[in-house]
A and B are shown apart, each in its own frame.
Chain A
Amino acid sequence: MAAPVSGGGRLCRLAWRRRAGALHSGAQPAALGREPGKVAAAQSGVAPWRAVVGLEVHAQISSNSKIFSGSQVQFTAPPNSLVSFFDASLPGTLPVLNRRCVEAAVMTGLALSCSINKKSLFDRKHYFYADLPAGYQITQQRLPIAVNGNLSYTLCVGAKQSQMVTKNVRIKQIQLEQDSGKSLHNDARSQTFIDLNRAGVGLMEVVMEPDMCCGEEAAAAVRELQLILQTLGSSQAIMAEGQLRVDANVSVHHPGESYGVRTEVKNINSLRFLARAVDYEIQRQIEELENGGTILNETRAFDYKLGCTIPMRDKEGKQDYRFMPEPNLPPLILYDAKSLPANIDDQQVVNIDWIQERLPDLPSVKRVRLVEQYGILPEHSFTLLVLEELWKGEGKTPLQIVKEKRLELIQNQRELDQICQAVMEGHQEEVMEIKAGNKKVLNKLIGLVQRATQRRADPILVKQILEKKLSQ
Chain B
Amino acid sequence: MLRAALREVSTALKEGQVSPTELCQRCLSLIKATKCLNAYITVTEDTALRQAEESEKRYRRGQSLGDLDGIPVAVKDNFSTTGIETTCASNMLKGYIPPYNATVVQKLLDQGAVLIGKTNLDEFAMGSGSTDGIFGPVRNPWSYSKQYREKCGQNSHLENEDSSWLITGGSSGGSAAAVSSFTCFAALGSDTGGSTRNPAAHCGVVGLKPTYGLVSRHGLIPLVNSMDVPGILTRCVDDAATVLGVLAGHDPKDSTTVQDPFNPFKLPSVIDVGKLCIGIPKEYHIPGLSSETLKVWSKAADLFENAGARVIEVSLPHTCYSIVCYHVLCAAEVASNMARFDGLEYGHRSNMDKSTESMYAATRREGFNDVVRGRILSGNYFLLKQNYEKYFIKAQKVRRLIANDFVNVFSSGVDVLLTPTTLRDAVPYVEFIKEDNRTRSAQDDIFTQAANMSGLPAASIPTALSEKGLPIGLQFVGRAFQELQLLTVAKWFEKQAKFPILQLQEMLDHADALSHQKISLSS
Contact = CB atoms under 8 A, between A and B. Distances in A.
B218 interface: yes
Given A92-B219, A128-B360, A329 B255 contact: yes
Contacts of A330: 255-256
A90 B253 contact: no
Interface in B223-239: 224-226
Contact of B255 (A90, A94, A136, A323): A94
B251 to A, nearest CB: 9
B423 to A, nearest CB: 30
A73 to B, nearest CB: 20
B255 A93 contact: no
B42 interface: no
Contacts of B345: 88-90, 133
Interface string B44-81: 00000000000000000000000000000000000110
Interface string B315-352: 00000000000000000110110111110111000000
B199 to A, nearest CB: 21
Contact of A92 (B80, B226, B255, B356): B80
B253 A96 contact: yes
Please indicate which of the listed interface residues A97, A136, A320, A323 has the most CB atoms of chain B within 10 Å of its own CB: A320
B93 to A, nearest CB: 7
A274 to B, nearest CB: 29
Contact of B340 (A91, A130, A190, A323): A91
A323 B220 CA distance: 23
Given A85-B100, A128-B339, A135-B342, A93 B218 contact: yes
Contacts of B333: 324, 327
Given A94-B254, A128-B360, A135-B340, A324 B222 contact: no
A133 B346 CA distance: 10
Contacts of A134: 339-340
The size class of the interface chain B forms with chain A is 35 or more
Contacts of B219: 92-93
B222 A92 contact: yes
A454 B100 CA distance: 68
A329 B225 CA distance: 10
Contacts of B102: 92
Contacts of B226: 327
A88 B324 CA distance: 34
Given A92-B102, A330-B255, A324 B221 contact: no
Nearest to A183: B356
B339 A320 contact: no
Interface residues of A, number: 30
A135 B218 CA distance: 19
Given A95-B255, A134-B340, A330-B255, A320 B385 contact: yes
B392 interface: yes
Contacts of B339: 126, 128, 134-136
Dominant secondary structure of chain A at its interface with chain B: loop
Interface in A329-377: 329-330
Nearest to A130: B356
Nearest to A80: B345
Contact of B356 (A192, A324, A328): A192
A126 B383 contact: yes
Contacts of A192: 356
A322 B356 contact: no
Contacts of A88: 345-346
A134 B226 CA distance: 18
Contacts of A124: 336
A136 B346 contact: no
A323 B346 contact: no
B336 A89 contact: no
Contact of B220 (A92, A95, A130): A92
A91 B87 CA distance: 11
Contacts of A324: 332-333, 336, 383, 392
B81 to A, nearest CB: 10
B255 A96 contact: yes
Interface string A134-146: 1110000000000
A194 interface: yes
B98 A92 contact: yes
A89 B392 CA distance: 25
A320 B340 contact: no
Contacts of A94: 217-218, 253-256
B268 interface: no
B342 A322 contact: no
B261 interface: no
Contact of A96 (B98, B252, B338, B346): B252
B40 to A, nearest CB: 20
A324 to B, nearest CB: 6
B225 A328 contact: yes
A92 B102 CA distance: 8
Interface in A84-139: 85, 88-97, 124, 126, 128, 130, 133-136
Q: Which 3 A-B pairs have the closest CB atoms?
A: A135-B339, A322-B383, A327-B225
Interface of B: 79-80, 86, 88, 93, 96, 98-100, 102, 217-222, 224-226, 252-256, 332-333, 335-336, 338-342, 344-346, 353, 356-357, 360, 380, 383-385, 388, 392
Interface of A: 85, 88-97, 124, 126, 128, 130, 133-136, 190, 192, 194, 320, 322-324, 327-330
25 contacts: A88-B345, A88-B346, A89-B340, A90-B99, A90-B346, A91-B346, A92-B222, A94-B218, A94-B253, A94-B256, A126-B339, A128-B339, A135-B339, A135-B340, A136-B336, A190-B353, A192-B356, A194-B344, A322-B335, A322-B383, A323-B388, A324-B336, A324-B383, A327-B225, A327-B256
Given A91-B340, A94-B217, A329-B255, 5 more contacts: A90-B345, A92-B219, A92-B221, A135-B339, A322-B384
